[in-house]
Chain A
Amino acid sequence: MQLSWELLYATLLFLAVLGCIGLGVLIFFKLRHQRWEHKKTELLQYLAQELNGGHPRRLLSFASSHPKIALRLLLELSQSIVVNQESHRHLITLICSTGIEAYYLRRLQSPNARKRMDAALHLSALPTGNTCLALTQALRRETLSNVKLHLCSALVDVGHHEAIPDILRTLPGAPQWYRTRVNMLLVDFGDYLRPHIPSLLTGTEPEIESLVVDIAPFYPSEEMHQYLLAKAAQSRPDIRYRSVRILGQLYPRELASPLFFGNTNPIIRNIAIDSCIHTPTEEVASSLIPLLADPRHHDHAVASLSNMMQSNPRLLEFFIKQFAVAPPQLRNSLATVLSLRMDYLLLRLLTNQGATVRPLVEEIIRQGKTSGLIGFLNRNRHLEMENEILDMLRPMIGESAGLRRDIRQHLQPRLLEKLGENPFHPPTVPRNPEIEKDKLIRLLLLLPVAFLTSPLLYSLLHWQEWVGWDGITHLRQFVLDFNYFLAFYSLSINGTYLLLLLFSWLCMSNQAHLWRLKKQTFLFKPRSVPSISVIAPAYQEEATIVDSVQSLLSLHYPNYELIIVNDGSTDHTLHRLIAEFQLEKVDAVIPVRLKTRPIRGVYRNRHIPRLVVVDKDNGGKADALNTGINVSQKEYFCGIDADSLLEKDSLLKLASMIIDSPSEAVALGGNIFPVNGCTVDNGYITDYRLAKGFLPRLQTIEYLRAFRAGRLGWAWLGSLLIVSGAFGLFRKDRIIEIGGYLTSSERYKKDTVGEDMELVVRLRRHMTEIRQPCSVHYSYNASCWTEVPESLAVLHRQRDRWQRGLIDILYFHRRMLLNPRYGRTGMLAMPYFFFFEMFGPFLEVQGYIMVVLAYFLDLLDPFIACFLFIANILLGVVVSVFALAISAREFPSFSGADSLRLIGYAILENFGPRQLLSFWRVTGYWNALRQTTSWGKMTRKGFFSAPSDTPIAK
């Protein structure tokens, strides 16, 4: 052994310094944040007074003494409000006079792209002649598209319309994502863009055509009209389709003309059909009805007719009349359209029109649109109505098994009795995992390797003394050596963490910078960020579901929907939702893009269009997520746990990373924090506090380390493999491509308990195999708060599940391990998980036993003890302190006292808890061998909010 006391002392000193630096950083961030808040309040006060003509002098003196802060605040404030323009200009002049403008003008020429973007952002708040000129010149020079975008955005903000030709010049040859955003920015020039339009209309480049079509709705004119007509007749397909769509919006009457309806291109015809909703008249409707027979147009015509009927109720009578005379092939489609007004139709059954309406209602029921009927019957109190409908149903039940099932599931027992049927509740079919013999054998084979590694290593080290020593000596040496093994192992793992922490720091400062560059006004422009479906699977979540949904419904995000998938809960999860959000069962056609367990019903409230609740047979979390993907109508989907709470702009922070991603962002993960100590009011965290209990606090520091030190670092390395199931954003089409989450219903016929990590691994594997560059990101500031186990038993079950999931994935994707074809993922991330996360605990647990053994054998000399202490404990604490320090950068963070407490826990956790976790990982392996695939139960406490025990009934 080459180790000496001196080296140990040096290390100790180094670590102490490191620890102090960590603490220093922590304190620095705290102070900086406080100062910023303080200055912000001060300036706001001055600004507000300035409105009243109060004390401009104080405002100006503040601005001249803190130009940077003033500029940043001005930037922030001007995103939402423009105060008195006079004083605004005054302030700008003053800020410029401090020389800050010159500083940013210089920065605009920096070779560092990030600095150029930063300068562009800040200059956008200083609309002076210099700035305008400098920005225009910078745009001419610029080569990077993302910097160009920021320059364009700044030019729009300062309103420098002379730069329009320069901006236009950047379009040809630019990437799609750049052009769509710049096109939208150009519209902000308003009338100043108008003089350029004639020349644009003659442009032939596809980029210019695309621009004209994009801005067409904002600049309607006869020339533009003719242009669109010309493009609609003949151009590249995407331009043609977009032109037709805009024509449909602006000149809906023309689309009914044969030029479009009679077009040979079915897609154009469909767009024309879609546009009919703007002219809900009988003539248009009657010209649409024959198209229902064409399978290519059926869906569009049905949707269009339905919308027309909604906006013009008088069409209802017309459709009823049409139904009576329609040929059979049109009747079912018309019935689908009319099914939207089922209540109204049913009420007419007993009027003079009963004879006309009845076949229509029967046809609707035959179409499987039974929700309206069942809802009506359950609500109805009118006896004759009831009997009339039941009489109509009676013969139909025999004909259709589907109708019978629907009725037996959803109709009130009293009515069922009258129909001679009995209620039916689909039994939850237990999922029997298949025994994977192959996996069992391989895992068993790995087991002796795990236990024999150290003896083997020992025998290699001491092969010379192999025969010379007696048993006791061997044992003593083995124990002693093992203590060193453990120390080295700890050193390497903590060293890895420390390294990752360094990467984290880099990654984080980059992200923080990019986030600061993003203006809210920019993010909320159309098409800036992708549309997202937030999918939350819920199983037995009645305690927290309402709070969670409330929180998820008011996210700060431009375009998203929320899909709650009730995974066959046997408690009141679904009923709570229905009662709280006044949901009604609707007939929805769900495309089967991924195979899942059957859907029982889709519930909506038309006043909360954002919310969709899906009720389905129990099939596990992955299956529920796949169902949600089928229901989803957006570009990306965000899988989150139904018991988790998102901060209101978490989703925006996460999704905004897609804009900066150099390659296709297929998956993005956010932070997870324990919510246990926080005060939650109606699904919204009002007070961020450290959790109370011992276990939650331990987990807090553990999560901090795992996310800050782990994932952020891995993300920087470009080989992040885990995107937490509690909060992850994915590109939907890619996920559908790879067959969604791993379930027994989908193509791999396999369930796993680590579905979130598995998905990312498979996604990466797929993207490598189809040779598409992709990236998986991790956002340091997009936070999600989740309840963590408070009892040891539940924690054990959770960790056991994690370990089994990990093993499952490593086994399932064993081909990637150390396979250079898969790049850093195969060579770095997978081996890390294999050695440190799966294999390591065996070594660690054995090591701990040896330490105890060494103590009893009196082998533990101060040196080895010290070494073990430094490698295992002190280094661990330093890692934790740094993780905490980095976290302090982001607000809201822990108070000073809580930070100290957490450092205390970071020390405490080394004595017992850590060992226990390692031990559980070993037993997890054992359980994986037993092929248990059960989830383990999590007892929910519910958030600490006022009990919302609203009764289910009215």
Chain B
Amino acid sequence: MSIHINDQDRELAPGIYWVGDPEHADNLYCNPYLILDGEEAVLIDPGSPLDFAGVLANVTRLISLDRIKYIILQHQDPDFCASTPQFEQQGFKGSLATHWRAAQLIKFYGVTSPFYIVNEHHLQLSFGTGRTLQFLPTPYLHFPGAITTYDPASKILFSSDLFGAFSPHWTLFADEQEDLGLSYKEAMLAFHEHYMPGSDILHPVMESFLNLDISIIAPQHGSIIRRQVKTYIQALSTLECGTFLTPIKKDLSRIDGYTGLLNRVLQRYYALYPKEEVVATFAETMIHLNPEDGLIADYTCTGRELWQQFFQFIYSKNGISWLISVEPLILHFVADYELELPKIFQSALLSLEKTQQELHEENKLLREDKRSLEENLQQVEDSLLKCPLTHLHNEVFFMRYLNAECRAFHQGQSAGSLVAISPDSMAHINQHFGGTAGNEVLKTAALLLEENLDAQHSLFRLEGPVFAIHLPGVDKATAAAYAEQLRYLFQQSERFIEPITVSAAVVAFSGFSPAAGENADLLSAAVYKTLRSRLQEARLRGGNTLCIDGEPAKPVLGKVLLADSDRAHLQILQQALEDANVTVLTTADGQAALSLVLRELPDLIISELLLPKMDGFLLRERLRQDSETDQIPFFLVSFLKDQESIQRALTLEIEHYLRKPYLVTELTGLILLKLRRKSR
């Protein structure tokens, strides 16, 4: 297969050339680069003996070897270092720039040139003109001494193995893959899944790349990324990889499992084949696709059967080529989730027909419609922005979503409110029941939230055990009521391993004025920060509470509600309290007491248990549904006080429970003590 590369394409930026040999393009194609600066040159990752001839020709066309001052070897793998001795033989006179760890190994290729250990030179390399290249260490990706090279002048990142890809149909640029109807991003992810040791190592590096001004990424393998560079970085920054070393997803529940996995397969299909064909595959089967997004809407069998049947349908309608195109993904899933490989894949046909089908597949792919491809790529991208545990959109997606909403708000559209919910006792649960139980709590919480979600609401899982819900067009009060409802729901739910509570926070967009000239990004950052800080405030207030403003609730000193149907009792107690400078509200029935509490928010409630319309316990129960009223100390005073009622009072967190008759001084003393403590 011969690929012709235009000369102007080879020059990525003024003086920076791709010097590879397309003749040797194969599944793991190698990209050497040359930087010319005045009289000097630097060759990056020259390659292996296999493509040496081609590379040498490309280099010498541009510059004689003796003028190359450095060969940068970003790590020690043979595919890039093996041809170095040959360059030396052909007349290379410079030094080999590399990490000290790599140098220890590179010498075994039999190189003779001196090493320029980057660690000893402030991770920099300067040309005679003063132009400087920066080395960014990327340890353990996938070698301890791996580095990448950044050229601030051209803003090109020579990314070594990072951003590489398997390329069955190699093109020089990643965007050209899309012209072929392929997704470079998927290929890139597949490569990283195989070669990168773990997400924990990969993600921080990607975070640092996000802060770097990069125009082009020039990886060793695969294609050069010159457009939408950030999205590729983001894709890697959320990738779960390293699975073969430590199968981190092993314990993932299949809560969204088979459906979720197959939806990802479907999305891959939509990227590869015309949507109609994919949809037609499942016509008249027991799998129903959602006509809007093309994902699985319903099916009538168990998850395990679905996993088998799905590929049966694919095979029977579209033949082996469709299976081959997703085989790596499926193998990946099988390994990650400890699944059984669908039987159809195990069939012998697979390997026999493989080569024959490849051509056929290629033809089909070429017929893809470009517009639908872009749309589908967007979906693929979305799927990468999900939390693997809860299958909700993650923080990265949320930030993007928030940005978009803020932009809309900036333009004067009402954007509604945000609610954040976070379980209070995650640390406790992880400690007592283990991390798996902790994950289960989060999953169950996500399910519970989904159950209570309206169609227009959007639910996100943020960093840490935090969920965010966007309520479009909803004002703060309604959002707060909704948040209270959720908070109460969690408090009452029996689905968790032990009863849990959540802290909640509400932020309304209307609280931020879209000032002229103010940036939407700034606004979204402000909204996000406020949401986080209010959630923190809610936690600081002891959890199981809702925070809707930044300030801690200010106690109104000394307002007490008395609820009793016995007028004489009320009158005496009211007098006693008023004498002690306490504002007193009185009411004769439970219903009125409830509305009075909601309206006046007293600092303390003293109630008879046996109240008309709503008894003391029910009143307390209703008050507990609102975190604000839940925290109001509640005293019971009643003729009735027995084992059962005491127990109930304790579960309702009633602080004092006096039996009538009681000493007025005792109760007033308790009340004053409580009020004084509170104001302190």
Against A, the Cβ 8 Å flags (1 = close, 0 = not) of B588-599 are: 011100000000
Q: Is B282 an interface residue (CB 8 A)?
A: no
**How far is it, in angstroms, between the C-alpha of A80 and the C-alpha of B572 when the chains are bound?**
11
| Contact between A387 and B575, CB atoms less than 8 A apart | no
The B contact surface, by secondary structure, is mixed
Given A51-B572, A558-B642: A82 and B301 interface contact (C-beta under 8 Å) = no
Interface residues of A in 39-98 (CB under 8 A from B): 40, 44-45, 47-49, 51-52, 73, 76-85
Q: Is B662 an interface residue (CB 8 A)?
A: yes
| Contact between A384 and B256, CB atoms less than 8 A apart | yes
| Contact between B572 and A77, CB atoms less than 8 A apart | yes
| Contact between B613 and A52, CB atoms less than 8 A apart | no
**How far is it, in angstroms, between the C-alpha of A248 and the C-alpha of B447 when the chains are bound?**
42
Query: What residues on B are CB-neighbors of A82 within 8 Å?
Result: 661-664
Q: Is B610 an interface residue (CB 8 A)?
A: yes
Closest approach, in angstroms, between the C-beta of A54 and any C-beta of chain B? 9
| Contact between B495 and A343, CB atoms less than 8 A apart | yes
Against B, the Cβ 8 Å flags (1 = close, 0 = not) of A896-932 are: 0000000000000000000000000000000000000
Interface residues of A in 542-582 (CB under 8 A from B): 550-551, 553-559
Partner of B259 from A384, A391, A524, A526 at Cβ < 8 Å = A384
Closest approach, in angstroms, between the C-beta of A604 and any C-beta of chain B? 14
Closest 3 CB pairs of A and B: A48-B575, A524-B639, A313-B498
Query: What residues on A are CB-neighbors of B328 within 8 Å?
Result: none
| Contact between B444 and A81, CB atoms less than 8 A apart | no
| Contact between A526 and B642, CB atoms less than 8 A apart | yes
Query: What residues on B are CB-neighbors of A49 within 8 Å?
Result: 575
Partner of B610 from A77, A84, A85, A556 at Cβ < 8 Å = A556
Closest approach, in angstroms, between the C-beta of B574 and any C-beta of chain A? 8
Given A47-B572, A49-B575: A80 and B259 interface contact (C-beta under 8 Å) = no
Closest approach, in angstroms, between the C-beta of A50 and any C-beta of chain B? 9
Closest approach, in angstroms, between the C-beta of B657 and any C-beta of chain A? 13
| Contact between B253 and A554, CB atoms less than 8 A apart | no
Q: Is A176 an interface residue (CB 8 A)?
A: no
| Contact between B640 and A558, CB atoms less than 8 A apart | yes
Q: Is A425 an interface residue (CB 8 A)?
A: no
Residue ID in chain A nearest B306 by CB atoms: A387
Q: Is A347 an interface residue (CB 8 A)?
A: yes
Q: Is A36 an interface residue (CB 8 A)?
A: no
| Contact between B440 and A80, CB atoms less than 8 A apart | no
Closest approach, in angstroms, between the C-beta of A587 and any C-beta of chain B? 14
Given A82-B661, A520-B660, A521-B661: A347 and B642 interface contact (C-beta under 8 Å) = no
Q: Is B258 an interface residue (CB 8 A)?
A: yes
Residue ID in chain B nearest A43 by CB atoms: B568
Query: What residues on B are CB-neighbors of A78 within 8 Å?
Result: 661
**How far is it, in angstroms, between the C-alpha of A521 and the C-alpha of B641 when the chains are bound?**
10
Closest approach, in angstroms, between the C-beta of A34 and any C-beta of chain B? 16
| Contact between B303 and A554, CB atoms less than 8 A apart | no
Q: Tell me which of A2-10, A374-382, A813-821 binds B.
A: A374-382
| Contact between A384 and B257, CB atoms less than 8 A apart | yes
Partner of A554 from B566, B614, B621 at Cβ < 8 Å = B614
Q: Is B573 an interface residue (CB 8 A)?
A: yes
Against B, the Cβ 8 Å flags (1 = close, 0 = not) of A320-349 are: 000000000000000000000101100110
Query: What residues on B are CB-neighbors of A351 within 8 Å?
Result: 253-255, 440
Against A, the Cβ 8 Å flags (1 = close, 0 = not) of B305-316 are: 010000000000
Q: Is A437 an interface residue (CB 8 A)?
A: no
| Contact between A80 and B253, CB atoms less than 8 A apart | no
Q: Is B565 an interface residue (CB 8 A)?
A: yes
**How far is it, in angstroms, between the C-alpha of A609 and the C-alpha of B648 when the chains are bound?**
10
Closest approach, in angstroms, between the C-beta of B4 and any C-beta of chain A? 50
Closest approach, in angstroms, between the C-beta of A849 and any C-beta of chain B? 51
Query: What residues on A are CB-neighbors of B661 within 8 Å?
Result: 78-82, 521
| Contact between A553 and B618, CB atoms less than 8 A apart | yes
Given A51-B664, A384-B259, A524-B639: A80 and B613 interface contact (C-beta under 8 Å) = no
Report which B residues bind A (CB closer than 8 A).
Answer: 251, 253-259, 296, 298-303, 306, 432-433, 440, 444, 447, 450-451, 493-499, 565-569, 571-576, 579, 589-591, 610-615, 618, 621, 638-642, 644, 648, 660-665
| Contact between A343 and B298, CB atoms less than 8 A apart | no
Query: What residues on A are CB-neighbors of B450 within 8 Å?
Result: 381-382
Closest approach, in angstroms, between the C-beta of A22 and any C-beta of chain B? 32
**How far is it, in angstroms, between the C-alpha of A44 and the C-alpha of B493 when the chains are bound?**
48
Q: Is A864 an interface residue (CB 8 A)?
A: no
Q: Is A682 an interface residue (CB 8 A)?
A: yes
Query: What residues on A are CB-neighbors of B495 within 8 Å?
Result: 343-344, 347
Closest approach, in angstroms, between the C-beta of B672 and any C-beta of chain A? 15
Partner of A387 from B256, B302, B642 at Cβ < 8 Å = B302
**How far is it, in angstroms, between the C-alpha of A629 and the C-alpha of B618 when the chains are bound?**
25
Closest approach, in angstroms, between the C-beta of B436 and any C-beta of chain A? 8
Residue ID in chain A nearest B576 by CB atoms: A51
Contact size range, A: 35 or more
**How far is it, in angstroms, between the C-alpha of A51 and the C-alpha of B575 when the chains are bound?**
8
26 contacts between A and B (CB under 8 A): A40-B568, A44-B571, A45-B571, A47-B572, A73-B568, A80-B566, A80-B569, A80-B639, A81-B568, A84-B664, A85-B663, A313-B498, A343-B494, A344-B494, A347-B440, A347-B444, A384-B255, A384-B256, A384-B303, A387-B301, A387-B303, A388-B302, A524-B641, A607-B621, A648-B565, A683-B613
Partner of A608 from B447, B451, B612, B618 at Cβ < 8 Å = B618
**How far is it, in angstroms, between the C-alpha of A343 and the C-alpha of B614 when the chains are bound?**
30
Closest approach, in angstroms, between the C-beta of A947 and any C-beta of chain B? 16
Query: What residues on B are CB-neighbors of A79 within 8 Å?
Result: 639, 660-661
Residue ID in chain B nearest A557 by CB atoms: B610
| Contact between B664 and A83, CB atoms less than 8 A apart | yes
| Contact between B451 and A381, CB atoms less than 8 A apart | yes
Partner of A383 from B259, B498, B642, B660 at Cβ < 8 Å = B259
In addition to A52-B575, A681-B613, 10 A-B residue pairs with Cβ atoms within 8 Å of each other are A48-B572, A379-B451, A382-B447, A384-B254, A521-B660, A524-B638, A554-B613, A554-B614, A608-B618, A648-B565
Q: Is A385 an interface residue (CB 8 A)?
A: yes
Against B, the Cβ 8 Å flags (1 = close, 0 = not) of A590-624 are: 00000000000000000111000000000000000
Query: What residues on B are CB-neighbors of A607 within 8 Å?
Result: 618, 621
Q: Is A684 an interface residue (CB 8 A)?
A: yes
**How far is it, in angstroms, between the C-alpha of A341 and the C-alpha of B444 when the chains are bound?**
14
Residue ID in chain B nearest A520 by CB atoms: B639
Closest approach, in angstroms, between the C-beta of A181 and any C-beta of chain B? 15
Partner of A523 from B433, B567, B568, B639 at Cβ < 8 Å = B639
| Contact between A316 and B497, CB atoms less than 8 A apart | yes
**How far is it, in angstroms, between the C-alpha of A133 and the C-alpha of B300 when the chains are bound?**
86
| Contact between A341 and B568, CB atoms less than 8 A apart | no
| Contact between B440 and A387, CB atoms less than 8 A apart | no
Query: What residues on A are CB-neighbors of B610 within 8 Å?
Result: 554-557, 648
Query: What residues on A are CB-neighbors of B640 within 8 Å?
Result: 524, 558
Q: Is A750 an interface residue (CB 8 A)?
A: no
**How far is it, in angstroms, between the C-alpha of A67 and the C-alpha of B463 when the chains are bound?**
75
Q: Is A350 an interface residue (CB 8 A)?
A: yes
Given A79-B661, A81-B569, A341-B494: A554 and B440 interface contact (C-beta under 8 Å) = no
Given A40-B568, A48-B571, A524-B639: A388 and B303 interface contact (C-beta under 8 Å) = yes
| Contact between B497 and A313, CB atoms less than 8 A apart | yes
| Contact between A682 and B575, CB atoms less than 8 A apart | no
Q: Is A432 an interface residue (CB 8 A)?
A: no
**How far is it, in angstroms, between the C-alpha of A76 and the C-alpha of B569 when the chains are bound?**
10
| Contact between B569 and A52, CB atoms less than 8 A apart | no
Q: Is A352 an interface residue (CB 8 A)?
A: yes
| Contact between B613 and A682, CB atoms less than 8 A apart | yes
Query: What residues on B are CB-neighbors of A343 within 8 Å?
Result: 493-495
Residue ID in chain A nearest B639 by CB atoms: A524
Query: What residues on B are CB-neighbors of A81 within 8 Å?
Result: 568-569, 572-573, 660-662, 664
**How far is it, in angstroms, between the C-alpha of A388 and the C-alpha of B253 when the chains are bound?**
14
Most buried by A among B255, B499, B639: B639
Query: What residues on B are CB-neighbors of A608 within 8 Å?
Result: 618, 621
Q: Is A418 an interface residue (CB 8 A)?
A: yes
Closest approach, in angstroms, between the C-beta of B622 and any C-beta of chain A? 9
